[in-house]
Structure 1
Amino acid sequence: MSSSRVNKYEKRRKNTKLLSMFTLLGSFLVIVLLGLLIFGGGNTEPENSQTSESSSQEEKSDSNSASEEQDESAENNPDPETDSPEEESESTGSSDTEETETEQVEPSDDNVAEAYTGDWEPVGTKQSEPHSIDYNEGSQDREEMQKAVAKATGLNEDHFTMWWIERNGDGKVVNTVSDSDETETYRVYNKWVLNEGWQPVKVEKLKKNDQKWRFE
């Protein structure tokens, strides 16, 4: 009987020890799991933060690269609306060349379609003073008169016909001319300016060439 009790007592003690061990082991496992959950979750944030920081740096880098490309493009391709020095000088040159303003005046006879005066400059001369008019073809006066006629009428200096030169007072002449097709005929009133040559002072556009009869 006493041996049986001892055995029962030993079995209970062993069972109690086993139960205590299982309880401790279970507690340990729970603690380990909780630790993993706590510390594992905490490690996630730095990784995400690091990833986001890296992305931000990449975006900044891309932005800087794009900005540098734009700056480089702006240097290589200036604004097309900005005038280059050449364009500015060209436009300045064209503004200096202005047409002479003219004023309508009364025609001198019925053959005049329109008449006008203008503030034209003398054409210049290679002749010395005192000046004496040479009416002959090929003379210096004839060449300089042609320049004055072209200046006042817009005719091509080398492609018009001078039909007649008429004296109109001291140092004054009237040139009757027409274009090469004889579709436009003009009387151009020129005067001699001392040391500066012939200066056109009035133009009359004619209805018909009233000097051509001289050569028919």
Structure 2
Amino acid sequence: MPTSRVNKFEKRRKNTKLLSILIVVASILIIVLLGMLIFGGDDEADKTDDNQTEQTADGSSQGDEADSDSTPEEQDDSAENNTDTEANDSNNGTGSEDESDSEEENSEEVTTEQVEPSDDNVIEAYTGDWQPVGTEQSEPHTINYNDGSQDRQEMRKAVASATGLDEANFTMWWIERNGDQKVINTVSNADESEIYRVYNTWVPNEGWQPTKVERLKENDQKERFE
């Protein structure tokens, strides 16, 4: 009898212990499942919200792009208008080639440097990297000082390129020999508000090249003709 009771007690104790373990395990599983349901559901909801937000941003940006782009019909109209404008520019002589040529001419700037004046009549003197103006004359070259000569015409181009005077309208008062194939041109505009000495040198096969300019206070060559 005592042994049987001990066995029964032992069995009950074991069963109670096992039941307690099972209850603990079951409780843990329930807690884990609840946690998964709660937090897992929030994550899914967050992902869904994020996806919706991204889609909305993409949609709005695509909508902006769609608004900024013209329709095919509008693009066709724009292309036709551009074609008409280019055709009109071409007929009027104001095409893109003329514009590009003008831009190239404006971009060719001359670098100048101040130098010492040669006398008290000089306001300022400067040298520059002017290029020879070109020539129609052959070598060997002999200077022809006569009015209307090829040298006189090409000297005028050189003076205009160095001073900015209008080639057709300035007065060439005097041409002075300044060494072998070198001259000094004294010139002015019509009202003599701009008076210059321009030093020119002959470059074989390339023509007259300005090398120095002096802006004068007075026309010191005018008295020759009074």
TM-score after normalising by structure 1: 0.61
Counterpart residue number, 1:95: 103
1:33-89 Cα deviation digits (max 9, x unpaired): xxxxxxxxxxxxxxxxxxxxxxxxxxxxxxxxx99x8221123125x9xxx988765
* One-letter amino acid of the structure 1 residue matched with residue 198 of structure 2: V
Counterpart residue number, 1:148: 158
3-state SS of the aligned residue for 1:142? helix
3-state SS of the aligned residue for 1:77? helix
* One-letter amino acid of the structure 1 residue matched with residue 124 of structure 2: E
Counterpart residue number, 1:70: 71
1:6-56 Cα deviation digits (max 9, x unpaired): xxxxxxxxxxxxxxxxxxxxxxxxxxxxxxxxxxxxxxxxxxxxxxxxxxx
Identity of aligned residues (%): 66
Q: Does 1:188 align with 2:189?
A: no
Cα 1:90–1:125, aligned 2, differ >3 Å: closer, same or farther?
Answer: closer
Query: Which structure 1 residue ranges, 4+ long, deviate > 2 Å from structure 2?
Result: 84-95
Counterpart residue number, 2:225: 215
Deviation at 1:91, TM superposition (A): 5.3
Counterpart residue number, 1:131: 141
Q: Provide the aligned C-alpha RMSD in A.
A: 2.7
Counterpart residue number, 2:207: 197
TM-score after normalising by structure 2: 0.59
Deviation at 1:114, TM superposition (A): 1.0
